Amino acid sequence: MKTRFYLGDCRKELHKVRDESIDLIILDPPYLTTREVWDQEEVVSLELSQLLYTKAKPSCSLYVWCGIGEKSQSLIRWFPLFSEIWYFKDLITWKKRRGIGMRKGWLYTREEILWFVKDNKRFVWNKEEQYNQDEKNEFTEGFSGYKCLSEFKRITNVWTDIPEILGRKGIKHFTPKPLKALERILRVHTKEGDIVLDCFMGSGTTGVACKKLNRHFVGIELNQEFFNLARDRINETEEVK
């Protein structure tokens, strides 16, 4: 599968991407919740939302990692910027297994993912992938005389089965996302050979998932250190034949 890497500000580098060429967009922008240099500037804007819209195919979905809480309020800031242009489909809650924070209040154990589509009548949804990969099953013939997948096996919009990366497991990035989450999104919205865009590439997990699942990948990253990390991780990942 082909990979393209761009080092620089996504608001400039996105102009190098052909219009209506992207099958799926996954974003993990800075939340503005840490003291890290890369987490100090608000990059998400109405202009970025519009630019991404022009790069997306009519069947494209857009996923945006975000947060909601006392310090992490990116969901509130970003939702109106994307929903003005994109069609909102759902809010996914990722339930983590270890809480963070020492403040007075409820222990923080969640992260959110906004799901939008460009065209609500044309977006890709691979129905067979909405069931847990480890629990796919079929009933014997039922009252209607045909086999069907158990409704109780469907993946919900609350993800409790994906653990966070504790200790980062050798990934030199502050907020790496779990590979299983990215693979789940790719399986539902793309097929082999489709093009996936991540313009906040970070540690490169989206690109790793693309290479494992035989999707083309376009990655943009502003930070030189993270760019090198992501490029090396993706290039070292073996394609599944």
pLDDT in tens, 88-136: 999 999 998 776 666 678 888 889 999 999 999 999 999 999 987 554 4
Give the span between the Cα atoms of 224 and 63, in whole angstroms.
24
163 in any annotated domain: yes
How is residue 27 written in tokens?
């974003």
33 in any annotated domain: yes
Nearest to 22 by CA among 141, 190, 184: 190
216 in any annotated domain: yes
- Asked if residue 31 has pLDDT above 50, the reply is yes
The CATH number that applies at residue 84 is 3.40.50.150
21 in any annotated domain: yes
190 in any annotated domain: yes
Q: Are 16 and 202 in contact (CB under 8 A)?
A: no
Beta-carbon count within 10 A of 241 CB: 4
Q: Which residues, at least 6 apart from 141, have a Cβ–Cβ distance to it below 8 Å?
A: 147
Q: How many domains does the chain have?
A: 1
Give the span between the Cα atoms of 231 and 205, in whole angstroms.
10
Instruction: Report the predicted TM-score, pTM, of the whole model to 2 decimal places.
Output: 0.87
Among 25-29, 38-42, 124-128, which is the least confidently predicted range? 38-42
Domain of 103, in residue numbers: 3-124+156-236
pLDDT digits over 45-64, tens only?
999 999 999 999 999 999 99
Helix H or strand E encompassing 57: strand 56-66
101 in any annotated domain: yes
164 in any annotated domain: yes
139 in any annotated domain: no
